[in-house]
Amino acid sequence: MELAKVTSKGQVTIPVAIRKLLGIREGDKILFVEDGEKVVMMNASTNALLKAQKAFEGVAEELGIKNEQDVVELVKEIRAERGEQYKCE
């Protein structure tokens, strides 16, 4: 458990241990999420990645991607399709 003091301007210094835990560095944005009677603080970048991860959940299975080589092949196919598209224009 960590303790921080609120200044007259409403500012709080996030303790070093918490910054390390959340991967927070100077200039990062912090997200405050209400959860019932408590508020959860998280690194906004991490939250964005988690949302993206959730949005793509199951897509690999739908596309038949099982390993890194499958990803490489998919990228090659897409690049080939786009190359053909640009040749027609």
pLDDT digits (tens, 9 = 90+) for 9-60: 999 999 999 999 988 999 999 989 899 999 989 888 877 777 888 888 888 8
Better-predicted residue by pLDDT, 53 or 76: 76
Any idea what DSSP says for residue 65? -
Question: How far is the first Cα of the chain from the last one, in angstroms, to the nearest whole number?
Answer: 61
> What pTM value is reported for the model?
0.51
